[in-house]
Structure 1
Amino acid sequence: MYRRTILGLAAALGLVAAATGPVVAAPASPSPLSFVSQLDLECFKTDPYTPPPTVIKTTHLNPVLVQAGLPPEVVKLGNREQLCVPVDKNYRTPTPDAFNWVRFVDLSCYRIEGQQVGFPLKLDHLNPVLRDMGVPGNIVKLDRPEQLCVPVIKNNVVPPAEVLRLVRFIDLKCYSAPPPKELGVGLVLRQLNPVLANQPPRFVKVRENRQLCVPVRKNDQPIPPDVLNVVQWIDLQRYDITAPTFPTPVSLTLRHINPALVNLPAEPVRIFASNQLALPVAKNGKVPPG
């Protein structure tokens, strides 16, 4: 482990930070299916924090919702409610082509309000662990937006440049998506991000589905075509979980990495109890390209 100045990130994002950790060479970008199907996020309740007044225009990216004609929407960031961090399930580590990318997806989630959609969707699980368990899909109605989850780094640990180029554009708009249905499976979760990788594995019980988080563009910002080809397929269904707490609360500093939000101040946060698990799904049979 060593410390070095992240001049490249400062030039690209206007963010000056000291990164701790080994330099990791980034492999070629994974396919959309490989990346999305192995992206599982455990969501922790956070202590209260209100960001500076921030208004964002959100535009849908997923082909199913784009073709449905869902319009852009302007939302205001409210209180931070959750921090979602990458995990693997049942000791099944993501494949080498996806691992170094998945482990750097950290999303800070803020309360938003918006218009009701009322759009029905058929969802099918993509993660190999759930598919091997025979977990069925479900039919939900995309209802009202409740959260906007945006990419951050923890404790100034910055991913390799090519990984950062992708993960900084992962913005998910989370809608209530009834009806809830008990999943009723048990899973062992292990933390993947380097900052939390020393935490022990934890057994969780997955309960009812609550939300569907879908990819959006913020403020009409340009997204490189190869990056867009991946992030437009990130659809995560969030389930309530029963989980043990961390042995001791973990204190972190969050910094925004999306170009639209890099000027927001760093945020202190403490986490110890998770309440949801976000699992990758396909909508209406549209599976990400392999």
Structure 2
Amino acid sequence: MDRSVTGIHGRRKSMLRRLASAAVAMLAVTFLCVPPAAALALPTPKDLTAFLDLECFKTSPYQPPATTLTVRHINPVLSNLPIETVTLGQREQLCVPVAKNTQVPPSPALDFIKYIDLACYKISGTTVTTGLVLSHLNPLFQTLPRTQISMNTPQQLCVPVIKNNVVPPAEVLSLVRHIDLKCYGITPNNPLNQQLSLRQLNPVLTPVIPTHGAQVLYARQLCVPVQKAGDNIPAAVFNIVRWIDLEKFDLATPALPTVSLTLRHINPVLAGLPIEQATLTGASQLALPVAKNGNFPPG
């Protein structure tokens, strides 16, 4: 072959190699410069609490291993109440997130709310007889008049769990695992008398429990935030969960599917407890967000 032709082919191959190398380099730079996916921002206390509605289902009976916990109140209104040691009794309910009527919680609150599942266990404790004024936080009920109640004797401790081993994203888990609510019986037991449509938000239950009507009846409990001894709550999370106050009302619904689940504790203090089997046997209560004595969540 003519040397000039050979030289041309050589120069072409060299140029192609240089172009290929440049393309690879550009792809590498592009890959390295792609920013990581943004971490999910924490919701404001106001957004999380205002749209936190939990439908509470009766569960099949279950008695956890003997477990004694020391809890303290973390909401500013009740910080003067004494620290108390309680023992977990029989599991009575599983409370799961729902949306009312056509409401959709705002983002990023929705990303957290849909993973708030609380298993409620019977407890006993000291009667505190504390007078409070409750205001509804959810926009649907904000126009309802405030109510005066007496918060009396502790009846339940509701603690965070996951269903069927469906673990929420890390940022979500870092918050929901620290939600502990101590539920007190209240008087008077005034009726709310509201007709609602309830829609499941958690991905485990959305395919199996249909949207359904519900009649909200009598107020029974006030569930207030506490911290268990040994649970080191990050400051940013603490400043959100301390504002979660839920008033529980009796609920009447049509017959709903029976659902069998496995529950696993996610709070660090209870993570060593065994996995539980739970069958949901019917919705019995609806927990609605409230503020106490005009102390509203910031945000």
TM-score by length of 1: 0.89
Superposition pairs for residues 53-92 of structure 1, below 5 Å? 53-66=66-79, 69-92=80-103
Which residue of 2 is the match for residue 278 of structure 1? 287
Supply the AA of the counterpart residue of 1:37. A
- Gap regions ≥5 residues in structure 1: 1-23
* Separation (CA, whole Å) in 1 of partners of 2:108 and 2:171: 13
* Separation (CA, whole Å) in 2 of partners of 1:267 and 1:70: 32
Runs of 4+ more than 3 Å apart = none
8 Å Cα contact 2:123-2:155 kept in structure 1: yes
Specify whether residues 254 and 141 from structure 1 end up closer, same or farther in structure 2 by C-alpha distance, changes over 3 A only.
same
1:105 is paired with a residue whose SS is coil
Which one of the candidate residues 187, 203, 211 is aligned to 1:194? 203
8 Å Cα contact 2:230-2:269 kept in structure 1: no
* Separation (CA, whole Å) in 1 of partners of 2:231 and 2:270: 11
* Separation (CA, whole Å) in 1 of partners of 2:201 and 2:236: 24
* Separation (CA, whole Å) in 2 of partners of 1:136 and 1:162: 36
1:211 deviates by 0.3
Which residue of 1 is the match for residue 161 of structure 2? 152
Q: How many residues align?
A: 262
1:67-96 CA-to-partner distances (Å, cap 9, x unmatched) read xx1010000000000000000001211112
Are 1:47 and 2:47 matched, yes or no?
no
Supply the AA of the counterpart residue of 1:135. L
1:207 deviates by 0.5
- Gap regions ≥5 residues in structure 2: 1-36
More helix by share: 2
Which residue of 1 is the match for residue 18 of structure 2? none
* Separation (CA, whole Å) in 2 of partners of 1:191 and 1:184: 21
8 Å Cα contact 2:112-2:172 kept in structure 1: yes
8 Å Cα contact 2:221-2:249 kept in structure 1: yes
Are 1:29 and 2:42 matched, yes or no?
yes
What RMSD in Å do the two structures reach over aligned CA positions?
1.2
1:220 deviates by 4.3
* Separation (CA, whole Å) in 2 of partners of 1:238 and 1:150: 15
Superposition pairs for residues 223-242 of structure 1, below 5 Å? 223-242=233-252
1:244 deviates by 1.6
1:110 is paired with a residue whose SS is strand
Superposition pairs for residues 158-177 of structure 1, below 5 Å? 158-177=167-186
Which one of the candidate residues 252, 271, 296 is aligned to 1:287? 296
Which one of the candidate residues 239, 243, 249 is aligned to 2:253? 243
